[in-house]
């Protein structure tokens, strides 16, 4: 599932206090319940997916990530990874 950081969710005005549902996420130390919210759309490059759910989680700041693309986004395309160019191509 696609994930957004709490900071980005707040910047987008998403109501994480009233999520669509909660889903368990496991770490080495515990299992926690994380909010899942619906967003109007997510665009990466020129590709857009409308009406999808995203998981809102706290991402470690040292990773410097705003989120992670999940299968619920990537499965709508035929992604290829151009590792030498550090690029994802969505067809």
Are the CB atoms for 24 and 33 separated by under 8 Å?
yes
Q: What is the DSSP letter of 29?
A: S
- Reported as a single tens digit per residue, the pLDDT across 7-16 is 999 999 999 9
Residue 49: what are its φ and ψ, rounded to 5°? -120, 130
For 68, residues 6+ apart whose C-beta sits below 8 A from its C-beta are: 2, 3
Number of domains in the chain: 1
| Per-residue pLDDT band at 27 (split at 50, 70, 90) | confident
Domain limits at 77?
A: 3-90
- The predicted model scores a pTM of 0.85
| Residue in 57, 59, 34, 38 with CA at minimum distance from that of residue 49 | 38
């Amino acid at each position: 599932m696609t994930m957004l950081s709490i900071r980005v969710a707040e910047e987008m005005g998403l109501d994480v206090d009233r999520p669509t549902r909660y889903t368990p996420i496991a770490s080495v130390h515990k299992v926690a319940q994380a909010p899942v919210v619906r967003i109007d759309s997510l665009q990466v490059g020129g590709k857009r997916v409308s009406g999808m759910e995203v998981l809102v989680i706290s991402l470690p700041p040292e990773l410097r990530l705003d989120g992670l693309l999940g299968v619920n986004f990537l499965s709508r395309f035929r992604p290829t990874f151009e590792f030498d160019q550090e690029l994802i191509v969505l067809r």
